[in-house]
Amino acid sequence: MIRAISVDMDGTFLDENGEYNRARFERIYAELVKHQIKFIVASGNQYYQLKSFFPGKDEELFYVAENGAVIFHQGELRSVNRFEERLVQKILRTLIQDYQDLQVILCGVKSAYLLKAADSNFKTFAKKYYFELQEVDSFDVLPDDTFIKFALDVEVTKTGQIVEDLNQMFNGEIRAVASGHGSIDIIIPGVTKGSAIQQLLNEWRVTPDDLLAFGDANNDIEMLQLTPNSYAMQESSPEVFATAKYIAPSNKEAGVLQVIEDYMEKSQRP
């Protein structure tokens, strides 16, 4: 019996326009509440952006944001995993000195930060995903925050190589992972959407067999590995297809909502 549902957002829950059928979700969500099924928004994106998709539900939903580095519920920070300041400075020096053609966002709990000198198109892109975003003159002096992730924008064709290079260069101190469309996240080793969701399941005394999970990119793999009820979206990476047990219809066709509706309908049959 399903007792929790976790969904990635971009490319999974959201359609190609970055939206979802809100009226349809409201009907489904009312059924989830009735059956005491918890709903987890699990994304590489910032909490402040994620909650904007669910007005009026910030008190109810669970947010696994920044690829599992933070968990928010009822507007409060429930859990945080942080980089040491020394390592933050080392990563920034490497990115700025060795990869002049990439754009970088330093992600903190209170805000995200980018350089004032960043590409204007990248700034526009960043504002779409980071509702709390500050521009800084340089990263020589770090802002007063707790740092949990780095988000990079690179040429799509270079994504795989840069991921490999960074993981070799930092040798276990960090984990670089592709999150789709030329985006790379640098995260804390062992901290993933999957580890954060497992933490919640432990709190709720829910087994992974009672979790329904949806994803499309490589930063969803650990979440999908948790449960036999795992779905890759129709347009997923090869690694996600190899991980998930089932394939959901496209995010362009509200595939997540279709699958949840099917589960709810089956669970109510005599």
How does pLDDT run across 20-53, given as a tens digit for each residue?
999 999 999 999 999 999 999 999 999 999 999 9
- Mean pLDDT calculated for residue range 88-103: 91
Phi, psi for residue 137 in degrees, rounded to 5: -65, -40
Task: Tell me, yes or no, if 137 is annotated catalytic.
Answer: no
Angle at 109 between CA 103 and CA 114, to 5 degrees: 20
pTM of this prediction exceeds 0.75: yes
* Residue 101 banded pLDDT, cuts 50, 70, 90: confident
Residue 269, pLDDT score: 66
Task: Dig out the tokens for 154 from the structure.
Answer: 């690179």
Residue in 8, 10, 153, 216 annotated catalytic: 8
- What are the pLDDT digits (tens) for 184-218? 989 999 999 999 999 999 999 999 999 999 999 98
Left, alpha or beta for 66 (phi > 0: left; psi -120 to 50: alpha)?
Answer: left
